[in-house]
């Protein structure tokens, strides 16, 4: 078996040079569900809106649990709470994953159940699934599989079409707040 190039460059710290801390010296372990949610919030994520059509109407839900899974076949994954109304629809019809740009916070809020007065959603329709105009990127998918994920269901979608804009920064969710990326100065790299 050939090791992929990325893994052959991984750096390992020799155990003789490693520093070991006691539990009192390190960050203490937590067992509180609210603290678990706060701790998970330290991982910055992009923001997506999953869109779909049902009986001639277009719907969407804001989701930040999204990742690529496979290139062959092309698969992506979204994680939805079991109580999500969108879940049933995503398992039985095409859907689009719309990655939001920094200028689309009102859209994220709209589909997160916080309607924005006067905010108009511009839809793009074609043969697969409705998607949001102006998104940073999109993936139009058909349902591939659903898997148990505790209080969530992991929905795999097979990517049928996709596209991106190169002129916009992403909308980011970090520690329970909406953020934008900051530029890193060239001498800081």
Distance, in Å, from the CA atom of 157 to the CA atom of 152, rounded to the nearest integer, reads 16
Q: Give how many domains the chain has, as a whole number.
A: 1
pLDDT tens digit sequence for 27-66: 666 677 777 777 766 566 788 999 999 999 999 999 888 9
pLDDT tens digit sequence for 158-173: 999 999 998 888 887 7
Would you state the pLDDT for residue 158? Answer: 96
Q: Which structural domain range is residue 86 located in?
A: 31-175
Residue 55 φ then ψ, to 5°: 50, 45
Of 140, 57, 138, the closest CA to residue 104 belongs to 138
Give a yes or no: residue 10 inside a domain: no
Distance, in Å, from the CA atom of 109 to the CA atom of 148, rounded to the nearest integer, reads 27
Distance, in Å, from the CA atom of 80 to the CA atom of 127, rounded to the nearest integer, reads 25
Give a yes or no: residue 142 inside a domain: yes
Of 42, 36, 61, 52, the closest CA to residue 125 belongs to 52
Give a yes or no: residue 64 inside a domain: yes
The model carries a pTM of 0.78
Give a yes or no: residue 180 inside a domain: no
Give the CATH number of the domain where residue 146 resides: 2.30.110.10
Give a yes or no: residue 156 inside a domain: yes
Give a yes or no: residue 182 inside a domain: no
Would you state the pLDDT for residue 4? Answer: 53
Give a yes or no: residue 3 inside a domain: no
For residue 77, pLDDT beyond 90: yes
Give a yes or no: residue 183 inside a domain: no
């Amino acid at each position: 078996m050939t090791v992929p190039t990325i893994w052959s460059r991984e750096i390992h710290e020799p155990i003789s040079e490693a520093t070991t801390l006691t539990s009192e010296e390190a960050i203490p372990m937590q067992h509180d569900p609210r603290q678990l949610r706060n701790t998970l919030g330290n991982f910055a994520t992009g923001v997506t809106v999953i869109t779909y059509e049902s009986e001639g109407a277009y719907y969407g839900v804001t989701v930040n649990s999204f990742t690529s899974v496979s290139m062959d076949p092309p698969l992506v994954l979204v994680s939805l709470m079991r109580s999500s109304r969108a879940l049933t629809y995503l398992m039985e019809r095409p859907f689009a994953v719309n990655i939001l740009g920094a200028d689309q916070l009102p859209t994220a809020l709209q589909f997160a159940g916080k309607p924005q007065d006067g905010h108009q959603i511009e839809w793009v329709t074609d043969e697969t699934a409705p998607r949001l105009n102006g998104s940073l990127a999109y993936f139009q998918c058909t349902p591939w599989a659903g898997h148990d994920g505790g209080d969530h269901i992991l929905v795999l979608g097979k990517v049928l079409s996709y596209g991106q804009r190169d002129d916009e920064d992403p909308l980011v969710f970090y520690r329970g707040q909406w953020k934008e990326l900051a530029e890193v100065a060239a001498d800081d790299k």
